[in-house]
Amino acid sequence: MEFFNALQHVLSPYPFLWIFIGVAGGIFVGAIPGLGGGMLMALTVPLTFSMDSTNAVLLLMGMHVGSVSGGLISATLLKMPGTPSAMMTTFDGHPMAKQGQPGKALSLGIGASLFGGIISGVFLIALAPPLSNFAHKFGPWEYVTMVMMAMVLIASISQGSMLKGLMAAMLGLMAAMPGLNESDGQLRLTYGFDSMGDGFNLLPVLLGIFVMSQIIKDALEINKKGVGIAMSKTERIFPKFGEWKRHTVNIARSSCIGTWVGILPGIGASISSMVAYGIAKTFSKNPKRFGTGHDEGIVAAESANNANAGGALIPLITIGIPGAPVDAILLGAMIMHQIQPGPLLFQTNGDLVWSLMTGYIVANIVMFLIMVFSARHLAKVVNINRTYLIPVVFAFCLIGAYAPSNRMFDVWVVIGFGVVGYFLDRARFPLGPFVIGYVLAGIMEAELRSGLQMSEGSFGPMMTRPIAATFTVISIVFLVYSLVQEWRSRKTIPTTESG
């Protein structure tokens, strides 16, 4: 019943308009290499302050859905993924386009994105309410161990070194430390600066990490150009039903993988598409054709990365832990709109949650329609001149950081974290764990302190409470396994400097 009420609301003019604007903006930005959904969402959050909170969340969620899908246009036509999640699409999308079938490559990707999105939307609606009920059983120790598990998972599954992933998570956690500690009202690490009293606010940190570091990188790589492939006017983009029938199993499997990886706290869409691509290759009758323009590769990658977006909403809604770094922005926006994601969300803001879940499915359908009718035109603008883009994006950053509290200090924070993010990225420290560490630091500290008060300073409940013990064991197993794996691979593979 709630679903149909929410559907009715989402399809009414204003919410639908915001979804449409969000998806269209997301596709446009996602299609341009060097920009991304996270960047657009972070820049948009301050503009939503005067909006109705449901519409604001629908707008941002639409941007997320649009940007994940938009990345496939440049991945296919330019061999430059518009977003990191479209990386696997370049392996088969671009070769297929090069073989004279750019329309087919896009149609496969667009259709797979739609099915991936809808399947994960069904999971979202089916799993979120019972998981939210289950999360009511969580006490402080369950939260502490779950955050610990999230940080270990994201650090170990992120691309690159486990140690660097852990370091990034710890640095994010540390970035959240200065300022007023809400647990006891104590100021800390301000070093005598009044401006540090509020600490580093969420939005400036996100703008620095997601936007500023990216525009520094864009300037460094300003000469990087894609290998453009033109599309003829007669090229078909609308997917054929017959083509889809052949890919039913691949779509279902990849979408389930995408959703499941999305549910794991802190892991982004690029991992989903990698895992789904690898498994599709393993089960394929023609594994050798992967990487040469094979349709199964495009379908697996695109259905998984879109499904990830829906899966990642599940931990965000039910326990207040972002399923992917980009979801940290959605979490931040919700908090700024006085909405606290977590087990109580269904009770306190039930209408909003149902609108978000239903809106997610509607956003995927809107994405499909926009992509089918505009991909041909979008293909012409993906190589936009970054000379004009970089200054304008920074000016937006300034407004975005300055607007919430009218403090220039926050704009300096953007620049500072941008430089930090750039150097970390350059040295291959993953930025996803940094964002997740920053967002989860407050929850972890507050819950740990209240847990220790309850247990009179003992860490025993981490192993004596069943749910907490499960999370602790998973964390330890993952940590040890990943470190051993890394140690073994370092012994066999010499470090190679690569671009």
Partner 1 sequence: MPSQSRSPILDLSICGVLVGLSVFIIWGTKDIPPPFFDPVGSAAFPKYAAYIIIALALAIGVRAIFSIKTTHKETKKPYKEEPLLALYVVVVPSLYVLTMNLGWLSFRAATILFIILLSALLSKFDKRSMIVSAIVALVFGIGGQYLFTEVFYIDLPQ
Tell me which residues in 146-165 interact with partner 1 (CB under 8 A): 159-161, 163-164
Which residue type does 169 have? A
Asked whether the beta carbons of 119 and 412 are under 8 A apart, the reply is: no
Is residue 338 at the binding interface for partner 1, with CB under 8 A as the rule?
no
198 makes contact with partner 1 (CB under 8 A)? no
CA distance 344 to 491: 48
Between 374 and 455, whose beta carbon lies closer to partner 1?
A: 455
Exposure string for 479-491, b = 16+ CB within 10 A, e = fewer? beebeeebeeeee
Nearer to partner 1, 28 or 115 (CB): 28
**SS3 of 289, please?**
helix
Q: Which is nearer to partner 1, 220 or 344 (CB)?
A: 220
User: Of these, 1, 241, 282, 493, which contacts partner 1 (CB under 8 A)?
Assistant: 493
Q: What is the nearest approach in angstroms of partner 1 to the Cβ of residue 225?
A: 7
Name which of 77 and 110 has its Cβ closer to partner 1.
77
Residue 415 binds partner 1, judged by CB under 8 A: yes
Identified binder of partner 1 from the candidate list 126, 219, 381, 463, rule CB under 8 A: 219
Contact 323, 263 (CB under 8 A): yes
- The CA distance from 464 to 444, in Å, is 19
Least gap, CB of 161 to partner 1 (angstroms): 3
Note whether 136 binds partner 1 by CB under 8 A.
Answer: no
Sequence-separated (6 or more) residues with CB below 8 Å from residue 113: 68, 69, 72, 302, 303, 305, 306, 364, 367, 368, 371
Candidate segments 43-51, 56-64, 293-301, 370-378, binder of partner 1 by CB under 8 A: 43-51
Helical H segments across 176-294, by residue range: 202-206, 213-220, 241-246, 248-263, 269-283
User: Which tokens is 392 given?
Assistant: 């304008």
Looking only at residues 455 through 474 of this chain, which bind partner 1 when binding is defined by CB under 8 A? Answer: 456-457
Does 499 bind partner 1 (CB under 8 A)? Our answer is yes
Candidate list 21, 335, 365, 390; residue touching partner 1; CB under 8 A: 390
How far is 68 from 186, CA to CA, in rounded Å? 41
Smallest distance, partner 1 to C-beta of residue 434, A = 12
In Å, how far from its chain's centre is CA 274? 15
Helix axes 162-175, 140-157, angle to 10 degrees: 130
Site for partner 1 in 171-190 (CB under 8 A): 171, 173-174, 177, 181, 183-184, 186, 188-189
In whole angstroms, how close is the CB of 162 to partner 1 at the nearest point? Answer: 9
SS3 429: coil
Residue 232 in contact with partner 1, rule: CB under 8 A: no
Give residue 423's identity as a one-letter amino acid code: F
Helices first, then strands: H and E counts in the chain: 22, 2
The residue from 11, 369, 381, 395 that contacts partner 1 (CB under 8 A) is: 395
Total residues contacting partner 1 by CB under 8 A comes to 78
